[in-house]
Structure 1
Amino acid sequence: MKKYDVIVVGGGMAGSAAAKRCAELGLKVVQFEKAENPGAKNACGSAITATGTVYAPYVLEGPIEVKVPGSRVYYIQRNGKYCMFETGMGGYGMYTIHRTKFDPWHAQQACNAGSKLRTATTIMDIIKENDRVVGVITDKGEKICAGVTIDAGGAHSIVARKAGLLGRRAGTDNVLYATAFVQLPEKVVEERFNQLCEWYLTIGGSKYCFNWIFPLKDGVSMGVGGGYMTPDLNIRQQALEFLNEPIVKEKIKGGKIKSWGIRTDPEKIIEKTYAPGLLVTGHAAGF
């Protein structure tokens, strides 16, 4: 049975940050990611907030796409007319990224600090002794032990569930959203978006729940999301309607949809994010 100081479950933002910091402190760390490569299974808005850069300034050394100094907000009426205003971010801004590029880089930073990365490995269960989490069991049947397990396995993490910290989330406690990457020439992105992220809202009712377009170097990241239990919510239909909104069609004119993604995210932080031998972070904790 292999023994480490720290087991980190998940190769996303929270997982790699945790693995990196623990390794820097001289701890023996192993990080597990279920995908072939970190970021391969991630569908999100593709941005790092200003807060993220304050707590982890090293992320700015990674493969950043666009520094975003502000936002455009569109209010769209049922008849297609709209009003728009721009707002800054107090000099801080945020940074857009491709998760398929950034997450492998981030995990490599943890490896550079001394952590070990295991990809294509799913955690199936936890090991408990005297009501303390002392390790995990992989889909290959391996038993890996550690003094502390950090669960950063996402909204549907089995670790927090097996430890009794996460019950079945109510549908009303989740957000369902679809994302798309639309490829566009870099010059076109600069001309149409001027480095600003865009948000689209509807006056007089929620035709769409919430919608965004984030600029990248080689295109834009788009998303449509709403409450999981919103009556008659069809996220695919909402996404297609958003893409066909006249102002949006103009924004992505000439572009090519290269990929789609869909996911659910929790809206509430779990009541308790720790147990003996276990810490829960990231989307697993509802952050």
Structure 2
Amino acid sequence: MPQQQYDVIVVGAGCAGPAAARKAAQLGLKTLLLEKALVPGEKNVSGTCLNGAALIDPDLHYLLSGPVEREIRSMRTYHLTPERTSVFHEIPAEGILLLSIRRDHFDSWHTEQARAAGSEVRLGTSVVDILMEGGFVRGVVTDRGEQLRSRVVIDAGGVNSLVGRRAGLIPKRSGTDMILYVTAAVHLGRRRIDRRFGDAIEYYLGPNLQHKTWPWIFPKRDVVTLGTGGYMDGELLGEGRPSLEGYMHNFMSQPLVAAKLEGGRVVAWGLHLEFDHTLERTAGDGLILTGEAGGFVAPFLGQGMPESFFTGIYAAEAAAKAIAAGDLSRSALEPPYRERIDGNTFIQSFHYVAAQNKASILAKSDAEIASLMQNVALGGGFITNAVHTKWMQGAAEEDLGPVKEAYDLMSFLGPYR
């Protein structure tokens, strides 16, 4: 079968892939976007909200034209115990906090934006190997036996991407480097969701519901998504702990949660695995890792979609510069890529806060975390709008200073430090 030549091949049409393909095509590069599913995002029940602070960035303004399910304007936190259920805080935001989306709808729309920009798109096509020559990644091999050559491959295939693993950039990981979630989507209908959830996302804490994280429910138009899980250390699935399905069963069977889900039906289940920090190497010769493939995610804070959008765009820019210079080595690809990432206030702010808290969280038991979170909600809500305002200010001004001030304002997080 004849080989086909491209400037850039992007593998994966989740969040990072279409962003990369769209940008590469806009920069005049002959681009191909490959996705193994026939419908992008059809099996993805994670990654359910666009962060309002990230959308301030002009690079992401085009995403505001995408299909949005619900505007999120507040956050509720519940503390569940065998004796009682206590609502210990609701935090309203000034303006829109998040935009709730359905990944099957949004990823399909996003893929069409890449096609409209000039990228070729092939759905239902899996990558089964990479083409290597002289230590450089020179393209991919598909499940149809095609050898597709490119100057640069952009890997947007997620945490278990074959491309990054075959190239030796994605290592085997376990323990506290990884977070594993079990997720579900429940169809309730718009009227029930309006009555029971309104414009709020919800977080929960309680025994045997999670492990050093917090379960959530995110409302959409007629579906809510749920998730729980934790760090993959010895305790997550250790002796006396629930199975992953058990964590979700415990969560959904809590009286408060069961009442909110009454009359609904589960329409999807999923497992989602994430790195907890960025990989040391995010590029190789002829290859750039984006989104979750590169560990650009802050799962401790439930954050990853904006990082994927940004890194997809930045990878395309780095590829264009390297191609123009005629140097496709890692030394030509990675510096401009990481310079853009390091200069992104939104990415740096989330990773700053996550890094400040992770070690302390891992040192505490789930019961201690639940107790601390109750104190957080009871004592900290009155300054939340001040924190949110400074966070948005930092994003708008591309200055990490206000973000650090916002973090310092959150005195109720003191016990975590």
- The normalised TM-score by structure 2 is 0.65
**Match for 2:20 among 18, 21, 30?**
18
1:71-150 equivalence runs, <5 A: 71-150=75-154
What root-mean-square deviation, in Å, do the aligned CA atoms of Structure 1 and Structure 2 show? 1.6
**CA positional deviation for 1:67:** 1.0
Which 10-residue stretch deviates more, 46-55 or 186-195? 46-55
Pick the structure with more strand per residue. 1
Residue 4 (structure 2) aligns with: 2
1:227-242 equivalence runs, <5 A: 227-229=231-233, 230=236, 231=238, 232-242=241-251
Corresponding position: 1:275 with 2:284: yes
Which 10-residue stretch deviates more, 176-185 or 100-109? 176-185
CA distance in 1, matches of 2:41, 2:47: 13
Corresponding position: 1:151 with 2:155: yes
Which 10-residue stretch deviates more, 274-283 or 183-192? 183-192
Residue 252 (structure 2) aligns with: 243
CA distance in 1, matches of 2:84, 2:106: 37
What stretches of structure 2 of length at least 5 have no aligned partner? 297-417
**CA positional deviation for 1:81:** 2.7
**CA positional deviation for 1:89:** 4.0
What are the superposed Cα offsets for residues 93-144 of structure 1, whole Å, 9 maximum, x if unpaired?
1111111111111100000000111111111221122222111111222111
Give the number of the structure with larger relative contact order, counting CA–CA contacts within 8 Å between residues 6 or more apart: 1
Pick the structure with more helix per residue. 2
CA distance in 1, matches of 2:87, 2:45: 29
**CA positional deviation for 1:208:** 2.3
CA distance in 1, matches of 2:219, 2:209: 24
CA distance in 2, matches of 1:126, 1:88: 48
**CA positional deviation for 1:270:** 1.1
Residue 336 (structure 2) aligns with: none
The question of whether the paired residues in 2 share the 8 Å contact of 1:45 and 1:179 is answered with no
Residue 260 (structure 1) aligns with: 269
Which 10-residue stretch deviates more, 170-179 or 84-93? 84-93
State the SS of the aligned residue for 2:176.
helix
The question of whether the paired residues in 1 share the 8 Å contact of 2:129 and 2:140 is answered with yes
Which 10-residue stretch deviates more, 134-143 or 225-234? 225-234
Number of residue-to-residue matches in the alignment: 285
CA distance in 2, matches of 1:35, 1:72: 35
What are the superposed Cα offsets for residues 230-250 of structure 1, whole Å, 9 maximum, x if unpaired?
223511011011011111112
The question of whether the paired residues in 2 share the 8 Å contact of 1:179 and 1:262 is answered with yes
CA distance in 2, matches of 1:16, 1:171: 31
State the SS of the aligned residue for 1:169.
coil
Seen in structure 2, the aligned counterparts of structure 1 residues 233 and 116 have a Cα distance that, compared at 3 Å, is: farther
CA distance in 1, matches of 2:21, 2:251: 38
Residue 182 (structure 1) aligns with: 186
CA distance in 2, matches of 1:215, 1:171: 31
Which 10-residue stretch deviates more, 28-37 or 226-235? 226-235
**CA positional deviation for 1:90:** 4.9
CA distance in 2, matches of 1:129, 1:140: 21
CA distance in 1, matches of 2:81, 2:105: 37
What are the superposed Cα offsets for residues 161-193 of structure 1, whole Å, 9 maximum, x if unpaired?
111111111243221111111111212211211
CA distance in 1, matches of 2:43, 2:263: 27
Which 10-residue stretch deviates more, 248-257 or 235-244? 248-257
**CA positional deviation for 1:4:** 0.6
CA distance in 2, matches of 1:148, 1:233: 44
Which 10-residue stretch deviates more, 78-87 or 5-14? 78-87
State the SS of the aligned residue for 2:69.
strand
CA distance in 2, matches of 1:158, 1:220: 31
1:204-223 equivalence runs, <5 A: 207-209=209-211, 210-223=214-227
What stretches of structure 1 of length at least 5 have no aligned partner? none
CA distance in 2, matches of 1:186, 1:76: 26
Percent sequence identity over aligned pairs: 39
Runs of 4+ more than 4 Å apart: none
The question of whether the paired residues in 1 share the 8 Å contact of 2:85 and 2:256 is answered with no
Residue 285 (structure 1) aligns with: 294
The question of whether the paired residues in 2 share the 8 Å contact of 1:149 and 1:278 is answered with yes
